[in-house]
A and B are shown apart, each in its own frame.
Chain A
Amino acid sequence: MADASMIPPSLAKQVETAFERRKLMSIGILAAILAYLIYAAISFDVMGVASRARMDNAKNLLSDFWSYKVSVVRDNRSGAITAAIDGDQRYAFAPDWVKTTGDVTTVDLGGGNVVTYDAQGARYVIPGYGTVDIVAKDGKLSFTAPGATPDWISASDSRISVSTSVGRFIYTKSKVETQRFFPGWELFFFTFDSPFYGKSFGELTALALWEPRIDPDQSNYAHMQHDFLTNSMWHHGDVLWALFETLLMAFLGTFTAALIALPLSFLAAKNMMPFAPLRFGIRRVFDFIRGLDALIWTLILVRAFGPGPMTGALAIMMTDTGLFGKTFSEALENIDEKQVEGIRSTGANSVQRARFGVIPQIMPILMSQVLYNLESNTRSATVIGAIVGGGIGLLLTQAIGTQKDWEDVAYYLILIIAMVIIMDWLSGLIRHKLIKG
């Protein structure tokens, strides 16, 4: 306590007011941020989103992410019954939970849910609720339910749909459809037309390694690879190619930008370029290229070179040239002049001084910057690909555009995340090595 008495009262007061001011300032900043967020919430119409949000869309999307559906359809005119994965006739098959005798078909959805199609119409037995009975007569649908119509049943003269936890049932004049959901992505590896469909991993390994050839013209492994890559539902070959194209765009764009920016950055560095107007001019060019943004460059380049991966690579190159020009010339300005001096004392000319005095000093910084950008450009290449029409970005926007192939969207997303994480890890690894030497 003796120490406290030694502080002059004026100083104590000064410290206290300073503390008070800082406290007020931090409260003021927080209040300003809060006020801004409230303003933004009003201008973004946050309340309106709740009414515009389509939760049924969200449900479709999420269920597509982890499950697939099998549709059992009866054409009400011809009476033909088909069961197909995702309702696609190419993937029709005969599931054992659908039984047809005469013109009566029963679809067992599991857990006591049974749908029956017969000559009069269709019936759906729902445990805990009762039987929904639909009779089609003179082009009109009449509908009988045990109680009040809950919100998971929608019924009109021309269309009746029932959604339960195990599936969906839709009756229209032309057809009646029952959809049953199963977890997983069916036909992901092989489609029905491949001899490898439905085989376990062990069986496939055995086939690939020692069992006799299924097709005498090619080895089982090559056959498998071919069937996997040409899978007509998932198009693995095209997807892998698109991923490669995205990586290619990032790689070409980043490295070409670095090669262009390196000589230019010498002209923009104060200690390398004594002529100020040229230095100033080059710096403004870098600023302009960076400021004009990837979006604008992409749009200009697409007009000239047409859509495709080269345009994407050039767009990445343009923006990165500006960025690299700036960082490289900053790195050049921070070098140690002693090494250059030493090289100069041996009578070296300016190119030799740059080669032996400067480049070795800035190389690790340069490489680390280039690798870092390569990683972040892998992500941008996805986005730029969506605009220029190349790579996985194009496939992704197309899949989102159909608004129903969400399982493809999930598949592409997983691949993109994996690709970016791998690039992140790789570039981190190499940068670490470079900096440590």
Chain B
Amino acid sequence: MVDLAFGPEPGKRPAASDPHLAYLAMVRQKRMYSALMLVLLAFLLATGFHLAEGRNAGGFLNGLPNLGAFPSEVLSEAWTERANLPGLAIEHLPSLIETINIAAVSTLMGGLCAAFLALLSTRGLAPFPRLTPVARRTMDGMRALPDVVIALVLIYVLGGGPIPAVIAISIHTSGALGKLFSEAAENADLKPVEGLTSTGATWGQRIWLGIIPQVAPNWASYLLMRFEINVRASAILGFVGQGGIGADLKVAMQWGTGKYDQVVAIFIILFLTIVIIDRTSDWLRTRLTKGAQHG
């Protein structure tokens, strides 16, 4: 790691006549720059918040005391109705499963698409080297599109249901995973590929037997990480668009008082699911990457 506060710039050497003074001057200069950057950042943050507060419906200081009001209102109602919570949680399980299914299917499909795009855009592996920039720009574009937007447009065309959400998250996943996949593939050892080429293997065989076994642990770990993100994304998609636990949450929130026990039940199962998935995937990922290190 580079030390930002000390250490000469590459190519620039302190004056040899008095190294002590030259060093102190350099440190002073670097510190001044860092201090200036900090002041600038503080200034930007302050003006930015001022501006954003001006555009907000409620001010920061007015809202601060209310921060606890909504959660406590929700929680107190849920507490008086706490006997309902387990029943409500079970009632919302099917939509939770739908949300998880949307995330899983789109991770799988996006992952498949990402693998192809990654192989097309990796130097040394691409079957058509001239097309690598095209594949890369495609991935950039797919990554840049927010999934909610694609989903909303698709709902207009395809009608409701989980399919628009699956397509939307898949598109974003392909772009995001494609980049990570191709970075992993770039670091793969090309010797097995050369060996396979010498035996007359086709492109598919070279990739399947030479590259996939090398990158599989990394790719699987990225897939798991993406799945975590996609579960959250599909919950948000449900809230903005349609389908799954997000839609249930929106209905319950819009109803307001009287359905807060439902809101809490949904929060609880969503929170638990996210924590469980995070933990499992964390554990699996360390196993995958550690296993790869041992060979």
* Interface residues, chain A, with chain B CB atoms under 8 Å away: 33, 36-37, 40, 43-46, 48-49, 52-55, 57-58, 61, 245, 248-249, 251-252, 255-256, 259, 287, 290-296, 299-301, 303-311, 313, 356, 360-365, 379, 382-383, 386-387, 389-390, 393, 396-397, 400, 403, 409, 413, 416-417, 420-421, 424, 435-437
Which chain B residue has the least Cβ–Cβ distance from A251? B48
Q: Which residues from chain B contact A362 at a C-beta distance below 8 Å?
A: 1
How many angstroms between the C-alpha atoms of A332 and B63 in the bound complex? Answer: 35
In the complex, the answer to whether B71 meets A403 with C-beta atoms within 8 Å is no
Interface locus among B14-22, B85-93, B124-132, B146-154:
B146-154
Does B187 lie at the interface of the complex (its beta carbon under 8 Å from any beta carbon of A)? Answer: no
In the complex, the answer to whether B52 meets A416 with C-beta atoms within 8 Å is no
In the complex, the answer to whether A296 meets B267 with C-beta atoms within 8 Å is yes
In the complex, the answer to whether A306 meets B2 with C-beta atoms within 8 Å is no
Least Cβ–Cβ distance between A371 and chain B, in angstroms:
13
In the complex, the answer to whether B236 meets A52 with C-beta atoms within 8 Å is no
In the complex, the answer to whether B64 meets A304 with C-beta atoms within 8 Å is yes
Chain B residues 55 to 69 lying within 8 A of chain A, measured CB to CB, are 55-60, 63-64, 66-67, 69
Q: Which residues from chain A contact B59 at a C-beta distance below 8 Å?
A: 305
In the complex, the answer to whether A310 meets B60 with C-beta atoms within 8 Å is yes
How many angstroms between the C-alpha atoms of A421 and B249 in the bound complex? Answer: 32
In the complex, the answer to whether A360 meets B153 with C-beta atoms within 8 Å is no
In the complex, the answer to whether A424 meets B144 with C-beta atoms within 8 Å is yes
Which chain A residue has the least Cβ–Cβ distance from B66? A304
How many angstroms between the C-alpha atoms of A437 and B56 in the bound complex? Answer: 40
Does B186 lie at the interface of the complex (its beta carbon under 8 Å from any beta carbon of A)? Answer: no
Which chain B residue has the least Cβ–Cβ distance from A56? B157
Does B240 lie at the interface of the complex (its beta carbon under 8 Å from any beta carbon of A)? Answer: yes
Q: Which residues from chain A contact B240 at a C-beta distance below 8 Å?
A: 383, 386-387, 397
Q: Which residues from chain B contact A306 at a C-beta distance below 8 Å?
A: 56-58, 63
Does B45 lie at the interface of the complex (its beta carbon under 8 Å from any beta carbon of A)? Answer: yes
In the complex, the answer to whether A295 meets B101 with C-beta atoms within 8 Å is no
Q: Which residues from chain A contact B10 at a C-beta distance below 8 Å?
A: 437
A-B contact pairs, 20 of them (CB 8 A): A54-B156, A54-B159, A58-B157, A252-B45, A256-B45, A305-B59, A305-B60, A308-B56, A308-B58, A310-B49, A311-B56, A313-B49, A387-B239, A397-B152, A403-B156, A416-B146, A421-B141, A424-B144, A435-B2, A437-B10
Does B41 lie at the interface of the complex (its beta carbon under 8 Å from any beta carbon of A)? Answer: yes
In the complex, the answer to whether B148 meets A383 with C-beta atoms within 8 Å is yes
How many angstroms between the C-alpha atoms of A221 and B41 in the bound complex? Answer: 33
Which chain A residue has the least Cβ–Cβ distance from B101? A40
How many angstroms between the C-alpha atoms of A300 and B51 in the bound complex? Answer: 22
Contact-size category for B: 35 or more
In the complex, the answer to whether A361 meets B53 with C-beta atoms within 8 Å is no
Least Cβ–Cβ distance between A72 and chain B, in angstroms:
27
Least Cβ–Cβ distance between A288 and chain B, in angstroms:
9
Given contacts A294-B232, A304-B63, A417-B145, contact A252 B4 (CB under 8 A): no
Within the complex, which residue of A36, A259, A309 is in contact with B55, where a contact is CB–CB below 8 Å?
A309
Does B133 lie at the interface of the complex (its beta carbon under 8 Å from any beta carbon of A)? Answer: no
In the complex, the answer to whether B235 meets A396 with C-beta atoms within 8 Å is no
Least Cβ–Cβ distance between A60 and chain B, in angstroms:
9
Chain B residues 105 to 135 lying within 8 A of chain A, measured CB to CB, are 105, 108
In the complex, the answer to whether B163 meets A49 with C-beta atoms within 8 Å is yes
In the complex, the answer to whether A40 meets B104 with C-beta atoms within 8 Å is yes
Given contacts A44-B166, A308-B57, A421-B140, contact A61 B101 (CB under 8 A): no
In the complex, the answer to whether B140 meets A309 with C-beta atoms within 8 Å is no
Q: Which residues from chain A contact B5 at a C-beta distance below 8 Å?
A: 356, 360
Tell me the interface secondary structure of chain B in the complex: helix
* Interface residues, chain B, with chain A CB atoms under 8 Å away: 1-7, 10, 41, 44-45, 48-49, 51-53, 55-60, 63-64, 66-67, 69-71, 98, 101, 104-105, 108, 140-141, 143-149, 152-153, 156-163, 166, 232, 235-236, 239-240, 246, 249, 253, 267, 270-271, 274-275, 278
How many angstroms between the C-alpha atoms of A305 and B4 in the bound complex? Answer: 39
Closest 10 A/B residue pairs (Cβ): A308-B56, A306-B57, A306-B58, A437-B2, A52-B159, A305-B63, A303-B70, A420-B144, A310-B52, A310-B56
Given contacts A292-B271, A382-B146, A400-B156, contact A52 B161 (CB under 8 A): yes
Least Cβ–Cβ distance between B5 and chain A, in angstroms:
5
Least Cβ–Cβ distance between A287 and chain B, in angstroms:
8
How many angstroms between the C-alpha atoms of A290 and B158 in the bound complex? Answer: 33
In the complex, the answer to whether A413 meets B149 with C-beta atoms within 8 Å is yes
Q: Which residues from chain A contact B4 at a C-beta distance below 8 Å?
A: 360, 363-364, 437
Beyond A360-B3, A416-B146, 8 additional pairs, beta carbon < 8 A: A36-B108, A52-B159, A248-B51, A291-B278, A293-B271, A301-B67, A303-B69, A383-B236
How many angstroms between the C-alpha atoms of A45 and B64 in the bound complex? Answer: 45
In the complex, the answer to whether B148 meets A313 with C-beta atoms within 8 Å is no
How many angstroms between the C-alpha atoms of A295 and B232 in the bound complex? Answer: 8
Q: Which residues from chain B contact A386 at a C-beta distance below 8 Å?
A: 148, 240
In the complex, the answer to whether A248 meets B48 with C-beta atoms within 8 Å is yes
Q: Which residues from chain A contact B41 at a C-beta distance below 8 Å?
A: 255
In the complex, the answer to whether B55 meets A424 with C-beta atoms within 8 Å is no
Least Cβ–Cβ distance between A370 and chain B, in angstroms:
11
Which chain A residue has the least Cβ–Cβ distance from B238? A295
Least Cβ–Cβ distance between B132 and chain A, in angstroms:
17
Q: Which residues from chain A contact B153 at a C-beta distance below 8 Å?
A: 61, 400, 409
Within the complex, which residue of B44, B60, B71, B158 is in contact with A52, where a contact is CB–CB below 8 Å?
B158
Given contacts A309-B55, A383-B146, A383-B240, contact A417 B3 (CB under 8 A): no
Given contacts A43-B101, A52-B159, A293-B235, contact A37 B57 (CB under 8 A): no
In the complex, the answer to whether B149 meets A382 with C-beta atoms within 8 Å is yes
